Amino acid sequence: MVLAESPSILITDNDQRFRATVREVLAPAGYRMIDAEDGIEAVQIVRHEEIHVVLLDMHMPRQSGLETLQLMKQFKAMLPCILLSAQMDDDLEQKAKMARAFDVLHKPVSRIELTGVIKQALARTYGFS
């Protein structure tokens, strides 16, 4: 499937500065970017908007990134979700993979790693290059 418009990326993190940094990193690629402050807001956005890739911080108030990922997969099974955490361990990484996370990235994440994983998600899921 070829996308008719710029792919949309949902940036979910309770840290506004991190969201702003991700926006700066991704801006040159021309993505349409939407912010969510927590997992509950992210689920609502995914239910009502066309989202192509979701970035999820693991540790957020009200609902973790892993809980959000599990909910989203119930109604959008093919949506690529990338989990990010500064406090990643093997157990959490295993749980994320069992929940069908597209990938798990350790914060701080490099520009090359982040953009590369997003491009992979778009290519594998939508044939977007």
Q: Which residue is it, tokens 């990938």?
A: 103
| Band of pLDDT at residue 2, cut at 50, 70 and 90 | very low
Among 96, 118, 109, residue whose Cα is nearest residue 9: 118
Rg (CA), the chain: 13
> Residues 20-35: what's their mean pLDDT?
96
C-alpha angle 73/41/1, rounded to 5°?
45
| Band of pLDDT at residue 4, cut at 50, 70 and 90 | low
Q: How far apart are CA 99 and CA 96, in angstroms?
A: 5
Query: Long-range contacts made by residues 102-109, C-beta under 8 angstroms, separation at least 24?
Result: 102/53, 109/84
State in Å, rounded, how far the first CA of the chain is from the last one: 11
pLDDT exceeds cutoff 60 at 32: yes
Which amino acid type is present at position 3? L
pLDDT exceeds cutoff 60 at 3: no
Q: How far apart are CA 111 and CA 33, in angstroms?
A: 16
Q: What domains can be seen in the chain, in order of their start residue? A: 8-126 (3.40.50.2300)
Res 75: pLDDT:
96
